[in-house]
Amino acid sequence: MEVELRRCIICTIPKPIAAFNKEHVIPEAIGGRVVIYHVCIDCNSTLGEQADHHLTDNLLIRMFRSEHQIGGAPNPFPEGRLIDDPRQIVYTEVKDGVFVPRIRVQKLETDNPGTIQFTGEANNQKAIKTAVDKTFKRNNLPPLTDEEFNERLSETPITGMTVNFTVDSFYYARALEKIAYEMTWKWLGDSYIDDELAPAIRHFIRYGEPDSDCSFIQMCRLLSEDESAKIFVPTDHTIIIEFSKKSITCTVLIADIFISNFIMSHNPEAYALGFGTAYLTNNAVNGRVLEKRVDSLY
Ligand SMILES: [Zn+2]
């Protein structure tokens, strides 16, 4: 019996159909809805770990996801600490699109034996009372009356908080190049896997380091404020492929945050597709995908 084989567009190894699963061209965590079934399961998990997450976990993207409630809407900031009392944890909450620092209600160790200290925000005394009540109950003690609770309250002004985070200025390029590569394959077909430039692009996606030879990257950066302001739908991800006489290029825009442009091939004549430009928009919030091809100019 013959087993039907399919070529993985990342490792290029022909494998049985069962060795493939669903791959999101634009990561699902940022609202991507375009899926392909030509990346093998092994490559798919490697891409997730080594390329996609550099984009989906980028601080700016996490803020975007949090603001628009996309892909689990992560808290964009790592937990911080109060400067005056580093035992106290500060976290960020999103309220109506604004990031609000909050202090976690918690039970703290004290130097006095037999004394327990609870902390929280002054405007959220109810949450502190709940935590106190729970501890009293667990220790078989009668709950504090509101009066007793209020007597024990003390307020400390907050002077500041410290938060540590790092900003990735390179690795997200691999994630953007992955989107460009997969979409170019989708538009050009299987013969693109064997394009002269494709092995270098695949290598960069899988193993790229800051000193990699990646001359096919023409641009990969944050959009300036002026450019962002001109984006018609700020929650659209956009992919554009363009044929010129000399090359095929792909532009990837991630919302109004990142812009990148890659050379995908130096052999445009190898792909007689009858279109000069194709573009796709994928709205991160409502998932709507629009695709359009424009006739060749040549
Ligand atoms: Zn593979």
Please tell me whether residues 84 and 122 are part of one structural domain: yes
Q: How far is the CA of 71 from the centre of ligand 1 (A)?
A: 25
Q: Could you tell me the residue range of the domain that residue 287 belongs to? A: 5-70+168-295
Residues 183, 94 within the same domain? no
What Rg do the C-alpha atoms of the chain give, in angstroms? 26
Cα 45 to ligand 1 centre (Å): 10
Average pLDDT over the chain reads: 90
CA of 27 to the centre of ligand 1 (A): 17
Ligand 1 centroid from CA 187, angstroms: 19
Q: Is residue 224 part of a domain?
A: yes
**Inside any domain, residue 75:** no
For residue 96, give the amino acid letter.
Answer: D
In this structure, the answer to whether residues 192 and 291 fall within a common structural domain is: yes
pLDDT digits (tens, 9 = 90+) for 68-82: 989 877 777 777 888
- 184 in the same domain as 213: yes
Q: Are residues 188 and 66 in the same domain?
A: yes
Q: With 70 as the cut, is the pLDDT of residue 142 above it? A: yes
Tell me how far the alpha carbon of residue 212 lies from the centroid of ligand 1, in angstroms. Answer: 21
Residue 142 and residue 95 in one domain: yes
Amino acid 273 reads L
Q: For 26-65, write each residue's pLDDT tens digit.
A: 999 999 999 999 999 999 999 988 899 999 988 889 889 9
Number of domains in the chain: 2
Can you give the pLDDT at residue 97? 67
Q: Are residues 211 and 155 part of one domain?
A: no
Strands (E), 48-184: 80-82, 89-95, 98-103, 106-108, 117-119, 161-162
Closest CA to 258 of 34, 9, 63: 63
pTM: 0.79
Cβ–Cβ under 8 Å, residues 192 and 198: yes
- At position 209, the amino acid (one-letter code) is E
Whether 227 and 205 share a structural domain: yes
